[in-house]
Structure 1
């Protein structure tokens, strides 16, 4: 995770961003701190990257890379405003002794990749349509040695996979069908007949931008309907307020790069 000490909305690279939007940095840091402390309280370890004044979006740490079993497939950002973030993440993984593989094509890390270790020996779900180049799916499959299922996003409000779909445990996902093309909706229906289906209101509230450890699902507090569905499906929803960071087009999941060392 990376604290939003320099968070601002000074440019627009997704439909949620409106340049000049007032941002309460103190509130953003407080909300981020609650999220970090929530993860710690659930027994997870959190590593913190130092923020940089020239990188206001670095709080969205999920976009910096994608790791599977000790191998890291690095990010290559589509927009120059965020390109320097990739080097910050690369330095972290190398310092920690991970095997880091630099990408040759555009991809935005966990923004467009999700992992289900219980499917096909480890299945990568990969989004494209707005940020990540489809060629990155094949590259990720080669680098990570895991099968990749490509999913085509069609609604620009859901510009990354992680605002349209979430891994809930080793086998199960939640998603909003309206974020995807018709062929991809059919793929998801066939592959995940037991999925938790979010409605549009909760998807637009960034409810699917959640992180789950298989039992606890930490999600935006605005997504009350999805929280009820998750509870009914056997998960324990843990709501957090991240209204300030939503101004930049992100929420819980965007703020967290999951470290899969094994």
Structure 2
């Protein structure tokens, strides 16, 4: 099922068992922020990016290493070298995604990011080392920025895809098919939003962090909240602005977000996460957030 009908999606999704696959990844991969600087093309439709003076490459590199150390305490976490010719490639989840036995290469909107899809080392790792089959969407015309645009409930095989210039409806269908999902809900993001994973996180298939102002239609917010009730956490505008929605669970009991996001959490949000069975792990990432993304954007998942 691929639909814009919230009611039909909710009815179908509620009937699906959490047996699509593991709810969390078995490993993670990062891409180092070598040459980290303002990418003018990406800044054209990413209001979260700082201006050129706001980029501190050395601090971003140190924080990125801290992120790898932190995540490595939970699951194997590898880091590929960066490339100064792709200055905002430290967000690899938009370009590469995995499902059991195969990997998908996305089609980025901007030329500066399309270069990332040609990385022979990353393709060689998935195809040669892990022996995953390849599904290459990078040369077709429809933008589909993978798990930036589509938040995936891995337990039930559900996609939640916000449409924007970074992913059109045809691109969403391609990702849905490549990941073999059971059902995907399509919806419009609010004006000024570029990726769904900045305004929504599904945590280990049993909870969701939702930024209501990131959605064009409140009915979509209501449907997602109903699907993950009683563990749907509606975040405030301040939490949204601090990237609290750009979070990820890499184990059953721990949700990761940036230190700035964690500090912005309200007592109500903290309590809701605790009730859902999650502790919060936080990593300082303010320099990386100058690039318009936060912790979840940095993490590629290996299933």
Q: Normalized against structure 1, the TM-score is what? A: 0.90
Considering only CA atoms, is the larger Rg found in Structure 1 or Structure 2? 2
More displaced stretch, 147-156 vs 160-169: 147-156
The structure whose RCO (Cα within 8 Å, separation 6+) is larger is 2
Structure number with the higher helix fraction is 2
Distance 1:70 1:173, change over 3 A: farther
Which of 173, 189, 192 is matched with 1:154 structurally? Answer: 189
Partner of residue 277, structure 2: 234
Structure number with the higher strand fraction is 2
More displaced stretch, 46-55 vs 122-131: 122-131
Gaps of 5+ in 1: none
Partner of residue 116, structure 1: 153
Q: Deviations over 1:28-47 (max 9, x none)?
A: 111111111000112x1112
Partner of residue 123, structure 2: 90
Q: Secondary structure at the match of 1:170?
A: coil
Aligned residues: 257
Counterparts of 2:284 and 2:295, CA distance in 1: 9
Partner of residue 160, structure 2: 125
How is 1:1-262 mapped onto 2 (pairs within 5 angstroms)?
1-11=30-40, 12-13=43-44, 14-42=46-74, 44-88=75-119, 89-96=122-129, 97-103=131-137, 104=140, 105-119=142-156, 122-182=157-217, 183-194=219-230, 195-212=232-249, 213-223=251-261, 224=263, 225=265, 228=270, 229-260=272-303
Gaps of 5+ in 2: 1-29
Contact 2:35 2:57 in 1 (8 A): yes
Q: Report the RMSD for the aligned CA atoms in angstroms.
A: 1.9
Counterparts of 1:83 and 1:33, CA distance in 2: 25
Counterparts of 2:108 and 2:154, CA distance in 1: 26
Q: Normalized against structure 2, the TM-score is what? A: 0.79
Contact 1:62 1:258 in 2 (8 A): yes
Distance 1:156 1:240, change over 3 A: farther
Counterparts of 1:250 and 1:60, CA distance in 2: 8
Q: Secondary structure at the match of 2:52?
A: coil
More displaced stretch, 79-88 vs 132-141: 132-141
